[in-house]
Structure 1
Amino acid sequence: MKFEELEKVYENGDYEKFVKNFLEFFKDESDLHRLRLLFRAANRINFKVFDMVSVEDKELKNDVDYLFNRFLFEKNFDEENLRRLFKNIISKERKDLYDDFMIIFLERNGEIFSDEKILDFLLKNKNKSMIQDYAKNLKDNKNPLISFISELILKKDYSLKLKELCKSFPTAEISFELFLQDMEDEKGYLNFLKGLEFKKNTFVIYNNDINRIENFDQSLKIFTLKDKLGRVKRVDAREILLKTSPIEQSDFRVLKYFDPDKGKSMSICDLIVSILKYKNSGLSKEQLKTELSFIYGKEAGNILNKKKKEIENCKEIEVIYEEPVRYILKSSQENDALKFLGTLKDEKSIRDFIFKMLETRKTEKEILNEIVEIVKQKCEKFKNEIIFTITADQSYIESKDFTNFNLFKNPLYKEKLLIKVYQEGNRIDFETCLKDFEKESIENIYNKLDNDGKKMIVEIAEKSVRIGKPLNFLEWYLNYHLDEKLLKLDIDYIIFRSINIANSLSSKKGKTMFVTSVKKLFFQSKNKGLIFYLKDFKRDSAKIIFDEIEKIDFLTEHQKDLVKRDIYEIFPSFLKVDRSDLIYSTKEGIEKKRKEFENIVNTKLPQLSKMIGEAAALGDLSENSEYKFAREQYSFFSSKAEELKRELDKAFPINFNKVGCESVEIGVVVEFEDLTEKTVKSYAILGPFDADPDNGIISYLSPLAQKLLGKKVGDEVEGKKILKISKWREK
């Protein structure tokens, strides 16, 4: 029998047949919807089923129909479940269960069930039969207000009750008059109850301003109000009751305008909480200072600074140190979080929300405990992962969850789960399981494995060198075990393939992580960079790597030049020009010249090309001065670019680490005395790209520098005596 067929039996109202067939064909059913139908049908025929089927789901154990079936047949139904059942009946507006619940409870206990939620239920449903039964059995001293509402709905004589109410609630009579005008609407009852709250010294918002009720004239039905400026006005009570609601004495507007001294006597934490509740949003430091100035005056800013530690330790306030600094209500956020969590249905949404919450805010332990309980009730697949993330309790790492391994999000939980499963003797497909893991996690797992497990990880890393995937294993190996030579492959080949793979991926979106790792490891490392390994390689291996570096586009030309300079020091034969043809200069000078070249090629020439096209469009080129000028400029800058390119191809950064001060050489500052002029001068001898004679920098190719090169302190050259030689301080 298919369940779809059984559902039709239920829809036709044959509940007895439905229950019988369900227990025969679907006794082991675990689907929540189907089990709820079983309990609902059983309740309608007064049949006991709660102990005939397996109920493991926490959500189902709190279900109204399951609880009601237990209530029907358990004489010792405990108080906690009783309240939970009644709360469900009220919240889900189950009129079909309310009457039976009341009657059974009365029979068992000799009195009517009483609860503050009943009043809400009576107001919403106004079912006369159940109200009559309720009012008849209710003892007046338990809740006279509920008794009055019950008799009111039943249209009994309520005049005596109303007079009694007026003793405690002065506005009861006028409030009741307004109710009679709208008694068929649920809002009428609610407005009646609200009207009872207006008393002397109650604060209200009237005409968008805060006012205090100074007096209520029962005979004239008039309120006397006083606003924040002390102005008094008399207003018809009907207008106040219909258009406003009382606000609490602790509302910051009351402190702000009517009782600032009380605000001063409060702790800074309570005061800020009051402000944040009034504003119903987070506030910047400046906004909070503005509000506090109503209490402390000009001292508000000083108070905030002096009480900084106290505010940071407030349980209800969270200070977010971003620009600008903000203050928010921690408790309201957490309460909102719990409410929102209660509305989520599927486990993935619950997990994603909790993980985001843990990532973005501090949460009190009590709230976290409540969240754990919610997770236990609503989750199964992700339950252990979520609770482990919240508590770090490793007892929630269970091998049975490994079937959902790829669905989990917490890397640490996945690490520990995988290690546990492996150590229990299970075979693991590490390549599949760790395909999205970062290098740090792979290393953590590797260190917990036995030799066989480590061997499997290394084999995957070797595979990634050969075919270029999975890259996270290659990245792991390069960062943690390159020096250990665990792979069967030579280290020069591993480095070449790493650079080669990074170069092939550098232009592809979403593949930047491996490229960045290679860049940091080999070209930006302060310790063991590429040169550390390259110096021990044979020339042929180093040349293959050098040629691959020439193709790199994830480094700037300047960065590549720095790398190549270091390689030239080890393998001079890689230079494409003779050393005597090199143009030495500082890194800054070369970069400045490169920018000049790039500006001409990328900006100036395209602009001139556009000008030529526009000028040519004017016709008669023989008389077109704009066209001729543009052509001349284009020719000039083209030649300039070619010249700069030739110079840059020969440019080589000065290695200041090898500059000495025994004699004059490129990279030093020479101080000398001009014996003819009797003056002392100094010049830095750098490259042609750096030359700036007005600021004491000359090129080593200049006539003066050529005469000074190789000379020592004390030597004389054409009337110039060298006094001092020092190293140029590289910027």
Structure 2
Amino acid sequence: MGFQEIESLLKEEQWTRSTIVNYTIQSLEGLDVQISELDEEEKTEAKILCDNHLTEKERNSIIAMYISGSIQLERRGSEDYLLLLNLIELFAESKKWTLVEFLCQKILRKTENKHALRLLANSYAQNNREDEKYAIWERLVKVDYDEIEIVKLIGTYAQQKGNKEKAVAMYKKAIHRLIKRKDSSPIRSIFNTLLELDDDNFEYYMNLADQVGTLSKNTAVALLRDLEIANKDNVDHQIEAQKKILSLDREDIYAKENLIKSYKAKYKNHSRLKNCLESSALTSNMVRDVIHSIEDFETNIAFDKGTFVFQNSTGKIGRIRSINENDVIVDFAGQKNTEGNRLSTAMAFKSLLPLAKSHIWVLKSALPKEKLSAKVLEDIPWTLKTLLTSNGGKSSLKEMKAELVPSVLEPKQWTSWSNHAKKELMNNPVFDLSANDVDTYILRSTPVSYEEKQLAVFRSEKQFYDKIKRLKEFLSSKGDVESDFFYEMVKYFSDMFLEENGSLKQMGEVTDYTFSAFLLLEDLVLKQNMNFINRAEGLTFKDLFERTENYELSFDAIKDPELKKSFIDHVVEEVQNWSKVLANLFQYYLTSYIPDIFRHHKKQAEFNKVYRDAVENFKEKSSTLIYLIKNSDEKLWNKAGITSEQLLFTKLQLLDFTNRCIDTRKDVQENRKNAKTLMTLLFTDKAVLNHINEGNEESAQKIYSLVANVFDLPGGKKIEIKHAISEKFPSFRFFDEVSPIDRESLVPTGLFCTAAALDAKKKEMEHIQHVELVEVAKEIGLARDMGDLRENSEYKYGKEKQSMLSNTLRRLSEEIDRATVITKDKVDPTRIGFGTKVVLFDNLKGEEITYTIMGPWESNPNENIINLLAPFGKALLNHQEGERFIFTLNDQDYDYTVRKISVIEL
């Protein structure tokens, strides 16, 4: 089959107006046979013909899409399956499911394409092939790390089939992905399902609560309460869960009460339990941080024979000889009482501070003065480390003297010792001066010195470019360039080229180190007039360039920007085909420097190859593409042969790739910066929306296919694009629409509210995002145009207003993520809670009062609508009709009896 045959097929299809209904698997297999008879050159011609046909004549040509897409699919390294995917969607719209399956499998034989997997699963679903659909879904979630809903569905299906192991694995995967997405709201329902299936995995659930706690403390607390209930028969597990709750919410009265009960159950046979509880203030009304109380309780109850202690009142060091339920006997250093010092248990744990065995106070009390003095005098580094460590990692010489004289050293010994200590502190790289107090020394791992120590720092650097950095810092600090210190630094680089007698060394492998050392020495001699420096006379940059095996790798490895610039200058001056070399080097030096050289030499046409290469290889050259996008107008792209649509599609593909790199922790800082730029260009600046508005439905289909598959794209952006496409193309069918999840069936957690309140908050957030922030951005732009920003009050006011709106938007987003809509049927009418109206009898005032219990959004204290999260609201919760309860808030006593509870309309 040749060029003419393809052309004939396309004309025949166009003239006969063949419809999708006419196509069968045999039709496509026939095209496959004809494609297989083409050689590579003919395939290229056929693809160009088909692509032009789709662009210029018939955008929905089945033959053109299939031939071009199939040839593209065969090509090594190609990941562009848009034509075949669009063809699949056309067949899906016509319910040609056998063809959908045929084409999906065609793609999937080469790659696990997410889009193809989704389309194939949808095809199976349309034909009630449930087992096959779920098998495809399992393949999908292995390659689409952003997919969560399908993961949960697979877990549910496995659970229904009795496959507990798979169900547990899928539910865990779903939770992990939700955490990565920073979406805590759906986690609790999955968490409880996991507890039912796999209750013997306590450490996993505790770790999970830790991770969720970084997203939402309320959700984490709810998970821990569920975990506490599930472990009702394991007191140790209950204690861990209760402590974790209190670490998240120190005011959680229920967790504290439950923890006390658990401690009592665990230590019911411990003779000092009551005293330890009281001394720690866990059971008292004393206002104290509960975490400190827990620490005190566990420390006190764990004190044992042999512990070193410090007595606060006397300053004495001792060691516990024995301990029982009533007394602690401590042997204090230097005491004559052979029976030891007897303290009550309560007093002992209030007045004694445990110490490490290596603490200087312990050493001073445990070792004879002569022995410790000898150690201090002979091992100054050990002494300094001991003193610094005992004082929290930092100390001044004055504090050291107070610690050593006269308890360890005599005053006359101090002068000599301190002189040696000062030298050690200045010369030993583990000691440094505090940045805040020049009289205080701290422990460090890197040396710090004055001019003499610069050479020591230089020597200590293990990396070549860190040595260059140190040398440049020496120069910038006006160090003495004629000193031996500077000479030895420079000699490190000149020794790479020169023998001891000054003659050139036999050149070995030329690397980035070779280039950098050469360029650095040349800069010092020729640009900074340091003629006293020995450099490799007779050796040129061209000599090195011609000897290097890979100049690109060498240039890329150079870590100093100024040396890179010098490298480029030498290429232009000394390398014959410099334009080709600089085009290859541009990706490693993304500034205007290289493009300016091309423009200066009127070689812009040659630089256009860089534009095309960046688009074609956007994954490998993402940073290059980002730079060109930010710094080139449409005219330059058009001259390079890149259309605006092609560039837009490439940006979307690059955003997906960049987000995945971030997820896998690859070049995170650079990729985050690139992702932020792409999000601004594509969505903030409305490039995608503009293209949809200006384009046709086919273009919108391509755009949505790309947008939908962008990894880690904020959900709101996808919704925004969906809305824009639906507005322009009402009959548009989105490939990824799945059955909505019944969120009303979820267990309510987080911020309780009504549907109306949630809708109002969403509208408020939308107004801020799309109206107020847009207006203030315009105001800032106008203010900026007025001139000097330092004296520009309009600009400052605009920035402050923008910051305030952004903070409000962030708070609303967080609250909405935590919100749970409560309907009337979910309200418990037997207890005071969200959505109830309660009539209370005030026993102190002898009168009735009515309150309505709602969430923070609907509360209005002036109308007796109480926030259930407020202290007063919490005090009312869960009480039943006929129950009397008393509490105190802000020094005011309350005494109520519940007369009536009713459910309000929500």
Normalising by the residue count of structure 2, what TM-score does the alignment of the two structures yield?
0.29
Normalising by the residue count of structure 1, what TM-score does the alignment of the two structures yield?
0.35
Larger radius of gyration: 1
